[in-house]
Every structure is written in structure tokens, then in C-alpha cells.
Structure 1
Amino acid sequence: MKLQNILFLALITIMIYGCNKVESDEFVSKVDVAALKKAMYEYNALTYQYDRETVNKEISKLMIDLKANPTATDKDGHLENVKLLIKRINELDGFSAKLFCYACIKTYPSKSDISIEFKYNNKIIKRQMFVMPAMGKVDDLLHFAGIQMSYDEM
């Protein structure tokens, strides 16, 4: 009987703490990939202008459940979230993403840098995307902070 109680408590604990993140497919399917590619493609390196609203809207769909989980080694609590975001971006049709650096841009709060590649109009397009924890907001979600030209293209 004691073993059954222990197993039951272990199962409940796993269900409560292990199911915070929803499967990627649910989020990836909600992204308008064509609109995201177009908005990121039209980034103007001279004026730093792009359709920020569209990029933010579509990328935010991939981050809606990515709440902070601070630890002793990760004060911002978003390292695993950034990794999951990259996984989700890689599941978008035609996208390839990798972590350039985590919490490495020393702003407040610090930003993480993700390298992104995608194909648009038969060209390989490269961008850097920045994400950061909420600043002065009630939530503790990861947020879109901007894009720029890839470091390869500067």
C-alpha cells in the first residue's frame, strides 16, 4: 500500500510539473509562415525598418507558454525556453535557427540572440533575432525584442 501511495504521488508530481509546455506542433501550426518570411525579408538595413508588428505577432505565437524558471545558474530563467523557441522555429517550413548567445546582450533585461535562415524568393535570407524576459510587465514570459541583418551580411 505504501508503494502505491509513493507511485501515485510521483505520478501526480510529474503531471503537475512536467506538463507546463505544450507540444510544439500546436504552436507551429498557428504561425503564418508566409507573412513571417515576408516581414523578415523586407528588413531595411539602411533605415532599420521592417514590419515589426507582423514579426512580433507571429513569433509571439511560438512563445505564449514560455514562462521564466529562474535557477542558481540561470537568473533570467529562460535558457530552456530559448532552446524550445529555437526548436519551434526549426519546425516552421523552410526555417533554420540556432542559438548565437544566451543572455549575452547586456541590456536590462539581457537579450538572447538567435541566428535565423530561411528561403524567400529563391534566396537564402539570414537574420538575427533578439528575445528577452519581460521588462516591467506582470508576466514572466519570453518576449520578442527585434531583428537585424545577420552578422554574416554586415
Structure 2
Amino acid sequence: MTAGKIQFAENEGTYVLKFVGDVRLTLCSTLDTFLDKMFAQPDFKSVIVDLTETEGIDSTSLGLLAKLSIQAKKKLGLVPTVVSTNEDITRILLSMGFDQVFILVREQAQPSQSLQEVPVEECSEESAKKKVLDAHKVLMSLNEKNRQAFKDLVKSLECDG
């Protein structure tokens, strides 16, 4: 698998986030910081998450995406869009209940001509542990199946803290 990276483009308050390769815990700080900056923009209107070139995605990254959806709904009343043409990725999204918090599109999006790479941000072990814990708590809040799937991990992380 290709090492993961996150790219973005912005046009008139609409953001496109593109996940490329294997998106894992190592990018959690990068993604979290970018989302905070995006939501802080006064002209922010909407966001599309493009997973068409995503080869793999871990539960921490999924938890951050769920957090993105919850924040977008709370702050702007909008439901973000996720584009996934990879059946394996789409299956993961559906199994986590993302069809309840995102508009899922299974067709190729228009390619964004001006994608820039989000600079990778280093993350301390303590910060990473907190982000993993927070991301999994968000996933657990989506539905009972997720709550059961991640309760032991969350309990373990809380005990380590």
C-alpha cells in the first residue's frame, strides 16, 4: 500500500479533502489540525471528502471524519459528502454507519485541478493516544454496533491515561 497523504482544495468556501493511499493514525494530528483550521474560516460553507484514491483507512481516521460530519451539522446544519468508488472502502463506511451522517456518493467526482498537500504534522505519543480515544468515542456515538465494537479499546485507552 502507498503511504497515506491528505490533499485539499478550496473554492469559495467549499473544501475538498482527498485521502490518498493508506490513511492511518500517523495522519491523525495532521487531519485534526486541518479540520480545526477549516471550520475556523469565516467563509467555510461545505466540504467533500474524496476517498476515490484511498487504499486503506483506519478507525481513528474514520472517527475524525465522523467528528467532521458532527461539527458540520452542528455549526452549519449541513451534511458533508463522501465520495468512494472503492467497494472495500465503501463497505467499511457503511459498516460504521457513515450513511447516517454523510451523503455517500459512489461515482467519481470531478477532479480538482488545484489540490495541495496538507503538511504532515508530528504527533506526540500522548497526543496520539488522546486523538485515538476521542475518535473512537465519536465512532461509538454513531450507533450501537460501533459502541460494542470499540468499547473495550476505549476502556483500555482510558485506563492507560
* TM-score interval, smaller chain: under 0.3
Give the TM-score normalised by structure 2: 0.25
Considering fraction of residues, name the structure with more helix: 2
User: More relative contact order in 1 or in 2 (CA 8 Å, sep 6+)?
Assistant: 2
Please tell me whether Structure 1 or Structure 2 has the larger radius of gyration of its CA atoms: 1
